[in-house]
Chain A
């Protein structure tokens, strides 16, 4: 449900950029880490509701999920951590350091040309 606040911030930034470009935004690309716990449908639904009747109405949101990585304390391998049952895919060791999670980013916006 925190997607509502994420959608609100996203809406503000896209609106600002659209004003700068003086153009209509069509789509936006977002990326996020595992620990941001973003649900695509909830985010898109919230964004649609907020964007209704504004220049952002109808924007297509594309969300790229960057899974959280870990580093094995035994063999030093970096790997994608499956949070429900994490272990190193190379040596099967279960001891690892979690690497910093990817931040929630607005990567790019696509605009319509007149």
Chain B
């Protein structure tokens, strides 16, 4: 028996594509945000409202990742924003190679911002770099306030946490969700994380999120 030292990154093939995507986006000064959450946290609803309310201010494109169907892409298409659907056919996360293919099918010369809506899953997508500028975590109040402690990886790695469906709180709905606990737990792992409490349904709290997006897009284009 004999051993050889390999010392190779196992996901190097994915990382090569991620680097390629990152260079592609940087060259065109496009902000790219990889949205990660459980299924049903409201990512698509957040995107639709964001696209509609920032019309004329930020040119937004979307890459939709789902295990099956192009239902989400259909919804985004209704906003007139350019969208590419990736169907992972069972895979629990998007890969950088899939995103690379999707970027070729977006009108990138006419975009300021690309959202990647990852497959709904709080664990796996956080382990795969896609070449994005930043990750955005979305947590809806119905999921419970223990998620940053139970699924720390995504909260440790995200630039922004959107706490969605805040209209459930104080609406007579029985939801055990201590928003201050979530903020404190997320900040334990990630001091600089920006947290916005929003309701994409009613529009409450979205202004802070829009201001953050506008600032980031501006910094990237003038920086």
Contact = CB atoms under 8 A, between A and B. Distances in A.
Given A9-B13, A83-B189, A107 B127 contact: no
B189 A108 contact: no
Interface in B88-107: 91-93, 95
A98 B189 contact: yes
A6 B92 CA distance: 12
A10 B126 CA distance: 19
Contacts of A35: 126-127, 153, 156-157
Interface in A55-80: none
A5 B98 CA distance: 13
B65 to A, nearest CB: 13
A12 B149 CA distance: 35
A111 to B, nearest CB: 6
Given A83-B189, A86-B189, A105-B8, A2 B123 contact: yes
Given A9-B13, A35-B157, A37-B126, A2 B93 contact: yes
B125 to A, nearest CB: 8
B78 interface: no
Contacts of B3: 108-111
Nearest to B150: A84
Nearest to A94: B188
A111 B152 CA distance: 37
Interface in B153-198: 153, 156-157, 188-191
A83 B152 contact: yes
Given A106-B8, A111-B2, A2 B128 contact: yes
Interface string A74-114: 00000000011110000000110110000111111111110
Contact of B156 (A26, A83, A95): A83
Contacts of A83: 149, 152, 156, 189
Given A37-B153, A86-B189, A110 B2 contact: yes
B11 A104 contact: yes
Nearest to A73: B191
A29 to B, nearest CB: 9
Contacts of B7: 105-107
Contact of B2 (A6, A12, A103, A113): A113
